């Protein structure tokens, strides 16, 4: 057996019938809900339970990541928004107008993540504006995580429905 054939069987461009796509989808949303504004969620739980140094560490880490996100948004936010819109529009056109399944799969991953990115910027602005700490910070981070998980659940549901539709309509060999 040719190693090219083996490689392309492993990394199939028919995304919705490929196990690797579904593994990536699960890992992406698991990671996105674990890292709240760049802070691991277990750090939030530890700070809430133990306080003291864990709370100081959490507030420092949140402050660093909030300032970093807002700086990036201020310096290059317009350019990043433009490139992101171009990228998402290109994926949508390639995927849903020109029927390229790989572009559909990447769009169904990237679009909801862009919503999480906007949510992160909004949350960062609110944290900086309200100068939150302690219990208010925990609530804000929990709310951000909940919204991220809701976006993830909707994304996985829509992706699963679209993937099943693609697999049923195209059949096992891709049309």
CA separation for the pair 163, 175 (Å, rounded): 14
DSSP-based three-state secondary structure for 36:
strand
167: enclosing H helix or E strand: helix 134-170
Instruction: Work out the number of other CB atoms within 10 angstroms of the CB of residue 124.
Output: 23
User: For 19-39, how does the pLDDT look when each residue is reduced to its tens digit (9 = 90+)?
Assistant: 889 999 999 999 999 999 999
- Residue 14, pLDDT score: 73
DSSP-based three-state secondary structure for 40:
strand
Mean pLDDT, rounded, for 56-64: 96
- Residue 175, pLDDT score: 52
The H-assigned helical ranges of 41-133 are 41-50, 52-92, 101-130
The domain limits of the chain are 16-34+41-170
Could you tell me the pTM of the whole model? Answer: 0.88
């Amino acid at each position: 057996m040719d190693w090219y054939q083996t490689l392309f069987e492993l990394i199939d461009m028919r995304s919705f019938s490929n196990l690797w796509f579904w593994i990536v989808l699960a890992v992406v949303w698991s990671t996105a809900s674990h890292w709240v504004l760049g802070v691991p969620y277990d750090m939030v739980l530890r700070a809430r339970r133990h306080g003291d140094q864990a709370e100081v560490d959490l507030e420092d880490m949140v402050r660093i990541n909030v300032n970093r996100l807002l700086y990036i948004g201020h310096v290059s936010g317009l350019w990043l928004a433009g490139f992101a819109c171009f990228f998402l529009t290109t994926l949508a056109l390639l995927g849903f107008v020109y029927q390229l399944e790989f572009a559909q799969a990447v769009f169904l991953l990237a679009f909801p993540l862009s919503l999480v990115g906007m949510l992160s910027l909004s949350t960062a602005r609110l944290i900086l504006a309200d100068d939150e700490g302690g219990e208010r910070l925990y609530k804000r981070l929990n709310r951000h995580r909940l919204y991220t998980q809701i976006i993830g659940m909707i994304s996985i549901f829509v992706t699963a429905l679209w993937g099943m539709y693609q697999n049923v309509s195209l059949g096992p060999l891709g049309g």
